């Protein structure tokens, strides 16, 4: 039995009203878009000096080509192809070197094992 009574006894809050006090939900869609400014238009952004807009699920340059002239694009594609070929050649060389290393390591282990056997055999004869 508490001396001063129950100090923590919050009052019950009244139930909330379910209906909105705003009458904007009663308006049709076009009126709501005008009133609330929900018509945004196409999204645009400026990136690296190029102005881009979002159309049909893709970013399109407003000035035409996004990367500049076609010669630069062709040069970049050719360079990319060269780098991919070089990368493939280097991967092949690494694979060959790893195979050679594993073969040499295996031969080395076999020779060490034979050497140990010869040492043990020569010790037995003495």
The model's pLDDT over 38-82, given as tens digits with 9 standing for 90+, comes to 666 778 888 777 788 888 888 777 776 555 566 787 889 999 999
pLDDT of residue 119: 92
Give the integer Cα–Cα distance in Å for 75 and 52: 23
pLDDT of residue 16: 72
Decide: pTM greater than 0.85. no
pLDDT of residue 99: 97
* Residue carrying the six token digits 């009052």: 11
Helices (H), the chain: 29-36, 70-125
* Residue carrying the six token digits 């999204």: 43
Answer yes or no: are the C-beta atoms of 22 and 32 closer than 8 Å.
Answer: no
| Residue of 93 and 74 predicted with greater confidence | 93
**Where along the chain do its domains lie?**
27-65, 67-125
């Amino acid at each position: 039995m508490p001396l001063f009574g129950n100090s923590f006894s919050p009052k019950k809050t009244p139930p909330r009203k379910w209906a909105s006090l705003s009458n904007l939900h009663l308006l049709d869609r076009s009126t709501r878009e005008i009133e609330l400014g929900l018509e945004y238009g196409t999204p645009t952004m400026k990136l690296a000096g190029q102005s881009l807009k979002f159309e049909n699920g893709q970013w399109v340059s407003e000035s035409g080509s996004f990367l500049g002239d076609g010669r630069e694009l062709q040069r970049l594609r050719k360079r990319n192809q060269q780098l991919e070929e070089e990368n493939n050649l280097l991967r092949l060389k690494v694979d060959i070197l790893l195979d050679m290393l594993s073969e040499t390591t295996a031969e080395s282990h076999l020779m060490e094992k034979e050497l140990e056997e010869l040492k043990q055999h020569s010790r037995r004869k003495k």
